[in-house]
């Protein structure tokens, strides 16, 4: 297993984008999702990425999460030039440093909450007893103690998203990416999820990057980055909350 | 790492019980059908071969007419007893010659009746057909010469008419002929052609000609050749002799037919083998259908699987790990299905062999072929949809609709 050598110093940003573009398709049908984005995120931040549909916020997050690759530009994660990594090296980056929460939860069906949360640890090669202990711990953190053996079909939307968050944090990632994590939930459930994320950021120092198009969800973040037409429109600390 | 992959594969099998069961079922049916068909077919072929061996390969049959079969024209010049005597006298290396006439007649004893094959011949008949007298005796010379009303019966006739009671000395009625049972033949079972060889009553040829047929004709002549002598040579000698006796000029075709029983049996073996091949083809189709069933199940679940693969890739599974998981899953399901299929097929074969009275012949080759085919089908259809999905960018796989 090839490990990735970091050249990190204390004040180095965890994420740094320079002139990143993303083009889908070619020629006449080409769609410019990102037109040159510069972005810097430091350890321990809670960043909300906002913008209307098609503004490029999700594309940007997918690139940050190494789920997608930029067409041009430089992306440094903890000082590593991500675009020079192979596909498998990017997978290992996700495995060891990144966590994901999706709008649609994306849990495995007919699989218990515990096994869903265990999954990333299996790919890490963690021994069974350690895996179980961590998974129980993560489910407790998200407030699902006692629901370990339930399958997604037996859980509410809010509970499913908590399982997804537990799965994302069980590996203690450096950065947690959340793509519209409350998009399918009602206001009360949304607030619970956001409180959970704030707690993770505050108490465990997890860097969080969240995509949302709802102002009152973005209000929970410490910093709001607004996208428009594939460019960063504004990038400022969240005055109301911080 | 491998253990983890196996763990993931087994979890996947468990959570997709329906899909797993259907996959296994497809393979089970295909494998079981092929193995059963081929095993039973093989047993039938072996049975025919065994019968050939028991019959001996030194039998010739001479019949009037150009050829044996349904195209036989009427008005062929029939044989006489003198023809059989001439063959016995003039052809060397002939072991026994039996003139035979027979027809199906209802035999009656008391209030029982049974339609059986009544055969007129002499004691040579028992030598030619390799049959022995179990109890009682053969015909005496005087009985043969005078056309006495005596008969030797087979096992089936004994059962049907006498119900296992003592038959010796009793009189059975064949049309207007009432004849005394003087002997019982050793049971011989079914012939290669599927007829019951014990369903027979033998009477002296002379008796048959006078009291049953009402003429002096002989239906056909059965000849057994001495061991170690080529039947082809004897066949030619008999043809030459009969052409002479029937005054055929060199330009005339034979109006009789000397047939080597070996040829008939070869033909029958060929038929059995053809039938086996046919059944195997049908079974192979069922294996193929099973494979297509597996393919359908896998393709139907491809959307769900693609999204799942997206999730796995996103949370840190390598392409190779995802593929290995699906490969292990496919191999486990296919081999499991294959093994069940083999067990089922062997059980069914033993049972069918019992019912159909054919020997059970284990064919390791077909078991192996069927198993490998099932494994390959399962792996191909289980693995390749996953291969496509695992090569996608994780975000594309996640968005798969």
Q: Is the pLDDT of residue A140 over 70?
A: yes
Q: Which of A91, A107, A115 sits opposite B318 (nearest CB)?
A: A91
- Complex prediction ipTM: 0.91
Q: Are B301 and B19 in contact (CB under 8 A)?
A: yes
Q: What is the pLDDT of residues B25-82, one digit of tens each?
A: 888 988 898 899 889 888 888 887 777 666 655 788 888 887 545 444 556 788 998 8
Instruction: Give the residue from B394, B311, B308, B312 showing the smallest Cα distance to A67.
Output: B394
Give residue A9's pLDDT. 57
Q: What is the mean pLDDT of residues B204-232?
A: 88
Model confidence band, residue A16 (pLDDT cutoffs 50, 70, 90)? very high
Average pLDDT over residues B312-336: 89
Cβ of B169 under 8 Å from any chain A Cβ?
A: no
Contact at 8 Å (CB) between B221 and B112?
Answer: no
Which residue of chain B is at minimal alpha-carbon distance from A95?
A: B316
**What average pLDDT does this structure show over A139-157?**
93
Element (H, E) at A203: helix A187-204
Average pLDDT, chain B: 85
Containing B220, the helix (H) or strand (E) segment is strand B220-225
Helix (H) and strand (E) counts for chain B?
13, 10
- Contacts A90 to B, Cβ<8 Å: none
- Cβ proximity of B207 and B179 under 8 Å: yes
**What pLDDT digit, counting tens, does each position of B240-297 carry?**
998 888 888 888 888 888 888 777 777 777 888 888 888 888 888 888 887 787 778 7
Q: Over 90: is that where the pLDDT of B344 sits?
A: yes
- d(C-alpha A164, C-alpha A102), whole Å: 8
Residues belonging to chain A with any Cβ–Cβ distance to chain B shorter than 8 Å: 62, 65, 67-69, 87-88, 91-92, 94-96, 99-100, 102, 106-111, 115, 119-120, 122-125, 167, 171
Specify the pLDDT at position A1. Answer: 43
Range with lowest mean pLDDT among A139-143, B116-120, B270-274:
B270-274
* Span B132-151, pLDDT tens digits: 898 899 999 999 999 999 99
Q: Is the pLDDT of residue B342 over 90?
A: yes
pLDDT over 70 percentage in chain B: 95
| A32 SS3 class | strand
pLDDT reading at A241 higher than 60? no
Task: Note the pTM of the prediction, 2 decimals.
Answer: 0.70
In the predicted model, what is the mean pLDDT of chain A? 90
Q: Is the pLDDT of residue B17 over 90?
A: no
Residues on chain A touching B316 (C-beta within 8 angstroms): 91-92, 94-96, 120, 123-124, 171
B321 touches chain A (CB under 8 A): yes
d(CA B145, CA A177): 112
Neighbours of B327 (CB within 10 A): 17
Chain A residue with minimum CA distance to B7: A122
- A151-169 pLDDT, tens digit each: 999 999 999 999 999 999 9
Residue A38 scores a pLDDT above 90: yes
Residue of A nearest to B313 (CA): A91
> Is it the case that residue B90 has pLDDT exceeding 60?
yes
> Roughly what angle, to the nearest 10 degrees, separates helices B364-390 and B302-314?
60
- What is the pLDDT at residue B194? 67
Cα B24 from Cα B332, distance rounded (Å)? 10
Which residues from A are below 8 Å from B7, CB to CB?
A: 122
Under a CB-based contact definition with an 8 Å cutoff, are residues B90 and B171 in contact? Answer: no
What DSSP letter does each residue of B165-215 carry, written as one string? Answer: S--TT-EEEETTEEEEEEEEEPP--B-TTS-BTTSEEEEEHHHIIIIII-S
In angstroms, rounded to a whole number, what is the distance separating the alpha carbons of residues A152 and B311?
15
Q: What would the CATH number be for the domain defined by A15-237? A: 3.40.50.300
Interface test with B, best of A96, A101, A108 (most B CBs within 10 A): A108
- 8 A C-beta contact, residue B395 and residue A62: yes
Residues contacting residue B227 through CB under 8 Å, at least 6 positions apart: B58, B95
């Amino acid at each position: 297993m090839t490990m990735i050598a970091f050249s990190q110093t204390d004040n180095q940003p965890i994420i740094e984008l320079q002139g990143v573009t993303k083009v889908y398709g070619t020629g006449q049908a080409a769609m410019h999702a990102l037109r040159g984005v510069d972005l810097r995120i430091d350890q321990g931040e809670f960043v909300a990425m906002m913008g209307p549909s098609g503004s490029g916020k999700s594309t940007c997050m997918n690139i940050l999460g190494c789920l997608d690759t930029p067409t041009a530009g430089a992306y440094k994660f903890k000082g590593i030039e991500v675009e020079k990594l192979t596909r498998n090296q990017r997978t290992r980056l996700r495995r060891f440093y990144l966590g994901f929460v999706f709008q649609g939860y994306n849990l495995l069906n007919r699989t218990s909450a515990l096994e869903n949360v265990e999954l990333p640890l299996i790919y890490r090669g963690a021994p069974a007893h350690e895996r179980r202990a961590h998974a129980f711990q993560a489910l407790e953190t998200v407030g699902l103690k006692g629901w370990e053996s339930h399958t997604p079909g037996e859980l509410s939307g809010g509970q499913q998203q908590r399982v997804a968050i537990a799965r994302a944090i069980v590996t203690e990632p450096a950065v947690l990416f959340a793509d519209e994590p409350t998009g399918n939930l009602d206001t009360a459930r949304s607030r619970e999820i956001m409180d959970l994320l704030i707690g993770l950021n505050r108490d465990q120092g997890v860097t969080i990057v969240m995509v949302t198009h709802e102002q009152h969800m973005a209000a929970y973040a410490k910093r709001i980055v607004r996208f428009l037409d594939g460019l960063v429109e504004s990038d400022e600390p969240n005055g109301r909350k911080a | 790492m491998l253990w983890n992959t196996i763990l993931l594969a087994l979890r996947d099998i468990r959570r997709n019980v329906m899909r797993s069961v259907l996959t296994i079922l497809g393979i089970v049916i295909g494998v079981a059908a092929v193995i059963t068909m081929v095993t039973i077919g093989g047993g039938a072929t072996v049975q025919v071969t065994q019968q050939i061996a028991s019959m001996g390969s030194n039998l010739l049959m001479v019949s009037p007419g150009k050829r044996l079969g349904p195209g036989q024209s009427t008005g062929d010049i029939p044989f006489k007893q003198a023809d059989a005597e001439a063959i016995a006298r003039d052809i060397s290396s002939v072991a026994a010659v039996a003139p035979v006439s027979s027809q199906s007649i209802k035999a009656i004893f008391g209030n029982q009746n049974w339609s059986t094959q009544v055969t007129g011949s002499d004691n040579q008949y028992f030598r030619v057909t390799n049959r022995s007298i179990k109890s009682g005796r053969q015909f005496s010379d005087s009985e043969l010469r005078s056309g006495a009303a005596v008969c030797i019966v087979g096992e089936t006739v004994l059962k049907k008419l006498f119900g296992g009671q003592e038959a010796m000395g009793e009189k059975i009625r064949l049309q207007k002929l009432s004849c005394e049972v003087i002997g019982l033949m050793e049971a011989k079972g079914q012939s290669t052609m599927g007829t019951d060889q014990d369903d027979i009553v033998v009477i002296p040829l002379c008796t048959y000609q006078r009291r049953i047929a009402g003429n002096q004709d002989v239906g056909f002549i059965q000849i057994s050749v001495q061991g170690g002598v080529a039947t082809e040579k004897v066949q030619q000698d008999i043809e030459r002799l009969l052409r002479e006796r029937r005054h055929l000029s060199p330009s005339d075709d034979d109006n009789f037919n000397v047939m080597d029983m070996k040829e008939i049996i070869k033909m029958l073996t060929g038929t059995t083998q053809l039938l086996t091949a046919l059944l195997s083809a049908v079974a192979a189709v069922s294996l193929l259908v099973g494979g297509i069933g597996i393919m359908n199940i896998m393709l139907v679940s491809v959307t769900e699987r693609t999204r799942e693969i997206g999730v796995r890739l996103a949370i840190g599974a390598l392409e190779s790990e995802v593929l290995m998981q699906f490969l292990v899953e496919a191999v486990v399901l296919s081999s499991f299905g294959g093994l069940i299929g083999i067990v089922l097929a062997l059980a069914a074969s033993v049972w069918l062999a019992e019912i159909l009275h054919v020997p059970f012949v284990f064919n390791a080759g077909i078991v192996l072929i069927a198993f490998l085919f099932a494994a390959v089908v399962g792996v191909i259809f289980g693995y390749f949809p996953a291969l496509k999905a695992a090569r996608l960018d994780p975000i594309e796989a996640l968005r798969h609709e």
